[in-house]
Each structure stands twice: as structure tokens, then as C-alpha cells.
Structure 1
Amino acid sequence: MFARLFGGGKQQTPVAPSAGGSAGASGQVINAMQGLSEREEQLEKKKLLLEKKINDEMEKAREFTRQKKKSQALMCLKKKKMYEQQLERLDALVSRVMEQKNMLEEQQTTLGVLSDMAQAAKAQKKTMAEMKIDNIDATLEEIQDLGDQMRQINEAVAQPVGMFADMDEDALENELAELEQEELDNQLLEPAPVPATKAPSAGEKLPNAPTGAAKSKQKTQEELELEALQQELAI
């Protein structure tokens, strides 16, 4: 009965793991997770069936109780209790299956990370093997040689050609300095210019010279009043 209840009659054909390395371990983990998922699905179906049986026995017990059939009601309650115990065991099994699945998922994740890290380490090792110090020195020397060649080309292009190629640059610089000094000496020897006085034009009038005495100072109000008083006294 328990074999039929927990699905032990049907056997699954195991998938042969791939040979060697993390690929084989990954295949085993995937197969195990698939088997646990199928087992969990079976257990959930059995739980639904047991819950239905529990409800049915409870309804029968109520009906027998209404009919005053005590023995039949007790038998229904016993069956209900048995189904409830089976349901508790199924709940425990489902919890164990889910826990095992979570552990396998974590292991699968860890295995994937380790596999990626191993591949990265191989790539890094290969890169470091190719990056030898001799190769680096040769590359740097080649870059230096190319730079020297470019500077030589630029200097060659900048050299004067034709009739300017035979001219002495130092002699030309000295001659230019002599010309500048001669110009400076000429400027120092020239007399300073005298500003010219502007002659009056024919129609322009000269300013009039003072011909008479300056006008007397205007009298104040007090002086005028004093003169008027003197005139009155004279009369």
C-alpha cells in the first residue's frame, strides 16, 4: 500500500552523466533536480487526493451522525484520521524534496561560477604566456624606431631646397642685426622737430589792445546813499 501511495512502483530510467569534469557533475545535478521536480509533482497530486478523501469522510460522518448511526460515523472518523496522518507525512516529504531542490540549485549555481572561473583562469594563463617580456621589449623598440624615422622624415622635409639651400643662415642673421642697428643710429642723430607758429590770415583780426583806463569800480549801495545825503546837506 505504501509503495502505491508514495509512487514507488514506477522506476525512472536514469540519464547517463557525461564523462569527466564539471560537465559530468552539472549533468548529474540537472538530472537530480529533474527527478526531484517530478517527485514533488506526484506528491502534490497525492496530497490533493488525500484532502478530498478527508473531506468525503467528514461529510459521511456528519450524515451518519444525523441518522443516529454511531458505529458508521466512528468508522468514517477513523478513516479521516488515517488520511490526515498520511497527509502530514506527505507534507514532510514535500518539504524535504523542496529543501533538496534548493540545495541542488545552489550547488548548480556554484558549479557554474566555478566553471566560469576555471575558463577565465585558462584564458588568463594563455594571455600571460603570450605576453612575454621579450615580446614587450621588441614592441617598444619597434615603436621607438618608428618615432625616430618619423622625426628624420620631418627634418628632411623642413630643409630648404633650391636657391635657398646654399645660403648661410648665420650671415643673414648678422646682416639683419646690422641693418636694425643702423636704423636705430639714424633715429638718434636726427634733430627734434620745432613746432611752427601759425601766421594770422589776411581777414583775421588781431585782438584789440586796451586803449583807455579801466572802468571804475561800480559803487556799492552804501556809497550811493552817502552821496545822496551829501547833496541834500549841500542844498
Structure 2
Amino acid sequence: MAGNMFGRLFGKPKEEVSPLSTLEKLNETLEMLEKKENLMQKKIAQEMEKAKEFTRAKNKRAAIQCLKRKKLYEQQVEQLANNQLRIQDQMIMLESAKVTTETVDALRSGAQAMRAQLKTTKIDDVDKTMDEINESTEDMKAIQEALANPVGGMAEFDDDDLLTELEELEGQELDEQLLAPSTAAPATHLPSVPTARVPAQAGKAQPVRTEEDDELAALQAEMAL
């Protein structure tokens, strides 16, 4: 009974109106106003035609009545146009408010999700994860170093012994190059001595002198001295 009394005093609580239902209602109202405006436009055209007919019939009183109704319809058309502008303006504002609300809701949801995620992620967990990463990195380095070391027979060789043997080979190669005879040594030429020309006999071919012949002649000349 107390509830009924408070209900009569304060009335029933109003139901929350959603932006979507409001936009639908405004859109329906806008369509209704457009239909009424079209109807008024038709009536204005009809009254204008009647006024022309009465004017041609010399019925001035009836023509004036038609023009008066035409003026009334025009006033209604102007009022309907103003109402449509108000509804369109409200629809634009409501659309903007709807977009703003959805944006704020999305940002709020993102912030809540971030806070929830940060609550589950403790600083100790982060430190532990970083330690695991560093430990894994050190293990990887150790594995790579172990793979780089020689195994089997290669592990028995000493690098110092190999370097000593390499130096000996390089020394032997240098000695062989120094002791090898030079293939481009200049040849020793003895001084040439002019020889007497022997007139060539007719019909006989002159013998061809060789380098050995020249060297022999030079030797004989030197011995004669």
C-alpha cells in the first residue's frame, strides 16, 4: 500500500530511452512531416487552379477564397519545413552524441582491460621472465662455443706445433728461391774481331755463319794476341 501511495505521489519511474529507439522515432516523425508537406503542396496547386478558373468565370469572390486557402496551406508548408529542420538538427546531434558515447565506452573498456592485465602481471613475474631470457642467452652462447671447439682427432693437434711447422715450411721455400739459378742471366759476349772478307766465287753459295763460328773466330784472334 505504501508503494502505491509513493507511486501516486511521485509517479512511475521513467524508462531509460536508448539513442537507437530515439533515432527511429525521429526518423518516423520526419517521414510523416514530409508526407504532410507533399500533401499541402498538392492542395496549394489545386487552389491555384481553382482561382484561375473562377477568374476566367468572372467569379471574383470565389477566386479570392481560393487564394486565401492557398495562403493558409503555404503557411502550413513553412511550419512543416521548420519542424523538419528541427528534427534533422536533433538527429544530427543525437548521432554525434551516440558516436561520442561509443568512443568513450570503447576507451573505458580498453582502460579496464589494461588495468586487469596489469593486475595479473606482477613485477616479480617480469623480473623472473627477464632472468629466464638472460639464462637462455648464456646457455646459447655456451652451446655455440662448445660447437666451435674441435673434437676427435682434430682436438689432438696443438696450434703452436702447427705454427712452428708452418714457419719451417716458409723458411725452406725462401731458401729454394735464393738457391735456384736465374734463367734470365745475361749471356757473356766475347769481343768480336773483324775478319777478312773473302770474295765470293761466282756460282757457289756462301756458307751461313753461326754464332758458334763467330765465338770460335774471336777465341782464335785472342789466342793469336
Identify whether the pair has TM-score above 0.5, normalized to the shorter chain: yes
1:149 aligns with 2:152: no
Report the Cα distance in structure 2 between the residues aligned to 1:189 and 1:96, rounded to whole angstroms. 112
1:1-235 map, 5 Å: 17=16, 28-163=18-153, 165=155, 168-170=158-160, 173=163, 179=168, 183=172, 195=185, 197=187, 203-204=210-211, 205-206=213-214
Identify the range of structure 1 (129-138 vs 187-196) with the bigger mean alpha-carbon deviation.
Answer: 187-196
Corresponding letter in the other structure for 1:206: D
* 1:139-180 Cα shifts (integer Å, max 9, x gaps): 221122112222222333344444554555445545655x36
Using the size of structure 2 for normalisation, the TM-score is 0.65
How far apart, CA to CA, are the structure 2 residues paired with 1:189 and 1:76?
136
Mean Cα deviation higher: 146-155 or 30-39:
146-155
Task: Give 1:38 deviation, angstroms.
Answer: 0.5
Worse overlay, 122-131 or 79-88: 122-131
TM-score of the two chains, using structure 1 as the length reference: 0.62
**TM-fit CA distance, 1:44:** 0.7
| Superposition deviation, residue 28 in structure 1 | 1.2
Q: Give the number of equivalent residue pairs.
A: 183
Q: Evaluate the alpha carbon distance shift between residue 172 and residue 53 of structure 1 in structure 2; reply closer, same or farther with a 3 A threshold.
A: closer
Give how far 1:183 is off: 4.1
Deviations 1:21-46 (A, max 9, x none): xxxxxx71111111111001111111
- Distance, in Å, in 2 between the alignment partners of 1:72 and 1:32 is 46
Show structure 1 runs of 5+ residues with no match.
1-15, 18-26, 210-235
Alpha carbons of structure 1 residues 174 and 67: separation in structure 2 relative to 1, 3 Å: same
Deviates more, 1:93-102 or 1:180-189: 180-189
Shift of 1:105: 1.2
> Partner amino acid for 2:52?
R
Identity, in percent, stands at 36
Provide the aligned C-alpha RMSD in A.
3.6
Shift of 1:79: 1.3
Which residue number corresponds to residue 6 of structure 1?
A: none
Aligned-pair CA distance for 1:185? 9.1
* Distance verdict in 2 for CA 1:174–1:74, change over 3 Å: same
1:28/1:193 CA distance change after superposition, 3 Å: closer
Counterpart for residue 5 of structure 2: none
